[in-house]
Amino acid sequence: MNNWTWDRLRVFDAVARTGSVVAAARSLRMTGPAVSQHLRRLEAEVGAVLVERAGRGLRLTGAGHVLAGHARTVARVVEHAERELAGRTGELHGTVRVGAVSSVIRGFLLPRVREFTENHPRVRVSLCDGETVDHLRALHEDALDVVLAESWHDLPSTLARGADITRLLTERARLVLPDGHRLAHRPTVPFSELTGEIWTSCPPGSDAHAALAQLVRRAGAELRVGFPVADHSTQLEVVANGLAVACVPELSLAAAPPGVRVVDTDPVPLRSIELVTQSEVLPLAVNEFVATLTGV
Domain assignment of residue 139, yes or no? yes
Q: 283 falls in which pLDDT band (50, 70, 90)?
A: confident
Please check whether residues 176 and 61 belong to one and the same domain.
no
CATH number at residue 236: 3.40.190.10
The count of structural domains within the chain is: 3
233 occurs within a structural domain: yes
241 domain-assigned: yes
- Looking at residue 89, its pLDDT comes to 58
Let me know if residue 147 belongs to a domain. Answer: yes
Q: Is residue 183 assigned to a domain?
A: yes
- In our burial notation (b when 16+ CB lie closer than 10 A, e otherwise), range 68-88 reads beebbebbeeebeeebeebee
Query: Looking at 88, 110, 130, which one is the last position of a domain?
Result: 88
Average the pLDDT over 210-222 and give the result.
Answer: 91
Res 146 pLDDT > 70: yes
Candidate from 34-48, 82-96, 98-112, 194-208 with smallest mean pLDDT: 82-96
Residue 1 lies in a domain: no
Q: What is the pLDDT of residues 127-137, one digit of tens each?
A: 999 999 899 98
Q: Which of 60, 88, 116 is the last residue of a domain?
A: 88
Same domain, 289 and 158: yes
Q: What's the mean pLDDT in 245-261?
A: 95
Cα–Cα distance measured from residue 178 to residue 199, given in angstroms and rounded to the nearest whole number = 12
Segment 213-218 mean pLDDT: 92
Count H helices, E strands: the chain?
10, 12
Lowest mean pLDDT among 77-81, 203-207, 234-238: 77-81
For the chain, give the percent of residues with pLDDT over 70: 91
Are residues 207 and 260 both part of a single domain? yes
**Nearest alpha-carbon partner for 173 in 259, 64, 256, 246:** 246
Do both 31 and 83 map to the same domain?
yes
DSSP code, position 237: H
Q: Is residue 59 part of a domain?
A: yes
Residue 256 sits in the same domain as residue 283: no
Domain co-membership, 260 together with 277: no
Q: Are residues 59 and 113 in the same domain?
A: no
The verdict on 165 and 277 lying in the same domain is yes
Structure confidence by residue, pLDDT tens digits, 13-63: 888 888 888 888 877 777 888 888 889 889 888 889 999 988 888 889 989
Domain co-membership, 64 together with 145? no
Question: Can you give the pTM of this predicted structure?
Answer: 0.73
Residue 138 within any structural domain of the chain: yes
pLDDT at 84: 62
Domain span at residue 162 reads: 90-169+273-294
Could you tell me the CA-to-CA distances from 70 to 9, 63, 280 in Å, in that order? 9, 11, 16
Domain boundary among the residues 53, 88, 123 is at 88
145 and 287 housed in the same domain: yes
Distance separating the N- and C-terminal Cα atoms of the chain: 44
Highest mean pLDDT among 11-15, 216-220, 239-243: 239-243
Same domain, 62 and 108: no
In the prediction, which pLDDT does 85 show?
Answer: 65
What pLDDT does 99 receive?
96
> What is the chain's mean pLDDT, rounded?
88
Give me the pLDDT at residue 82, please.
Answer: 64
Instruction: For residues 82 and 96, state if they share a domain.
Output: no
Helix-strand-coil percent breakdown of the chain, rounded to 5? 45, 25, 30
Determine which helix (DSSP H) or strand (DSSP E) holds 163, and give its type and residue range.
strand 163-178
Q: Are 265 and 245 in contact (CB under 8 A)?
A: no
Highest mean pLDDT among 62-76, 242-256, 269-283: 242-256
